[in-house]
Structure 1
């Protein structure tokens, strides 16, 4: 409740201060990213993968960009002061649209960067993302993920998984990556790391496969709702098929949009995995 009160005050004061023609679009964007920041436990992993497939960035570049963006959200989302968020996002726009990056970016991205600072971010958020396949993720589950000499191995592992999936909204992607992270970090803290990862490997592969299935959003946008439901009915068979179908339809209608509600999508992902033929007891 405190967060809802803060964000409502922030949005109201921002609306009073901003004179942009597209201020309402910016406020919708701001509300969404602040909700993600507050409610998604592993938001930084989803955000890194998002910038990775949106801009074609490496793990290091995407992590730096997402960390810069998230630091501004951490600082300002719970402050009912528009100056804070306006200053932070204006500063981030300069980083995102630096000349060193623009030459390698698409024409659509450059058009977004030519807009006023606070119009740029909603514009970029609406751009179509592209998956970036990597052979490095083919067989990543090993004790090397837990080596202290490689402190960012788990982060890189999650990035390589997430960057392959471009039509999944941030709340859904982040929720699934959080499940993977929790499983791997638990094994890294176990007495026998190799045995734990071996035991969990099949479950990790199934969760990764679930991400591919969650890319059904690309089909959801091409079909009307009855056609999408019929498609899901054909693909879901066996015991619990009706519940599975409805879970996919609920996820599609509520969480395929990039600016999907974080808390609802976390709940729907949990419902979906509970109805899948495999049970994710992580």
Structure 2
């Protein structure tokens, strides 16, 4: 079975915006996050669940749909999960994850609603957003908390609020505290065998140059995707995180040369003035996989 490409682009759609759901088949995002949390005021929670459930029924077969539910300590979580765990849902995004226990609670709830819906246990994947100091402190435990968890996400807005720094900063430079926190997600994801983490949205949707800078920075840290809040952001995100044609062609040359060398009993070979051994080979294969090539 062919593995689905990693969801480099994930577009947020507020759970109240039924008209925007109808555009899902035409939008070039690799995945979508239908939001029941921050984008939905308390008085609209119940109605939004109904709208989101309808969107899953209508578009879930052809699109990768995730739902951002409310946090574990909210009064809305159970009702959120009961409404959206259904055929067509790809995954659940848990915001403000602060401990392994948070992940395990949601994992058990999803399992219960999978059984009720007649779905195979474990079919619905999960991603957890780390956006507090407490979450960063516990991120290695969070990453290893449940097999259902596929990736971590970083929430720059809430994390910046928690530590008392500006984001995005007026000079366009990401502060060292955020860089440190984001790097922890990369390491924890690798340690737990998860997909590389997904970066936060960039809130200034009309400043694509600043988006490109922030995306490039997080790509260098080891992130492999970024949330979007506007369709205009999608091409920039895809371009930054997807390996270029030149990178893919080079990776193919490295793999072909190494395979030939290995067939002759060698564990290293020179290609274009570079020594290629197993770590370089494995990275080349990762690049090819990331490109879906």
Between structures 1 and 2, the one with greater helix share: 1
Between structures 1 and 2, the one with greater strand share: 2
Is the structural similarity TM-score above 0.5?
no
| Structure with higher RCO (Cα < 8 A, 6+ apart) | 1
